[in-house]
Amino acid sequence: MSTKTTTAVSPNASSNTESSTNPSVTTQTNTGLETAFPQQEGRKIYLAGDLVFRTGALALFDTLKGICQEYGLVGISPFDGQEDVKELAPGRDTILTIVKADRALMDECDAGLFCIDPFRRTADMDPGTAVEIGYMHAQGKPMEGYTVDGRNYPDKVADYWKRAWGESLRARAGSNELGSGDNEDTDGMLAHSDGMRQNGMVEGFITLSGGDIAVNEHFETAFRQAAARLAGRIGN
């Protein structure tokens, strides 16, 4: 994780007042962890996706933060301000601590860049990231998405069922009152969101925020395209 420079709060100052006016001040969030933002000029961008689970995640976020800097943006990873987490024992309380800390980071950020790659060899993206997209959309913040897999979502579902279960999708019998897809899996679940790269709510919320999904087989290129578009939308 990159080293972050912070400004100490005067012992005579109110930490709540200081933190609301100076985002570069180290503060205590309601999680009990420090949340620190770099002293850099630019809009703060929440970097989310299944990236936190990938090998070499810290180095990967450093790379993405560097790309953000090229466009005048300040990349904030879900790990920022959570150095104390690694000292906590695995379990429910630790996970809730992380959830609260990530929520606080999203509250402080101006916009989000979201990876919507398929997760754990399935058709769907990381569900936690999907929740974050919904949360930031509810806050009215600009978002952009990116992925190395630009296939139609129902095609991803069909591919997953073929690989995992050796079964093909089938045409849904009778009329489809939902209008979001024509095929279903052998459990009778509709392969929905035709024309989208992920569940319609995921890509839909990004689109409604004014964003789009950048697609490129090279991960960093896809991210760069999304970052450039976001910078053009919100400036710095």
Average pLDDT taken over every residue of the chain: 85
The upper half-sphere exposure of residue 74, i.e. CA atoms within 13 Å in the direction of its Cβ, equals 18
| Cα–Cα distance for residue pair 227/236, rounded to 1 Å | 12
One of 3.90.650.10, 2.40.37.10, 3.30.420.40, 3.40.50.450 is the CATH number of 25-150+198-234, namely 3.40.50.450
Least confidently predicted of 134-148, 176-190, 205-219: 176-190
| Cα–Cα distance for residue pair 118/167, rounded to 1 Å | 19
pTM of the model: 0.82
| 156-203 pLDDT, tens digit each | 999 999 999 999 999 988 766 767 788 999 999 999 999 999 999 999
Where are the chain's structural domains? 25-150+198-234, 151-196
Assign 48 to helix, strand or coil: strand
pLDDT of residue 38: 53
| 71-107 pLDDT, tens digit each | 999 999 999 988 788 888 999 999 999 999 999 999 9
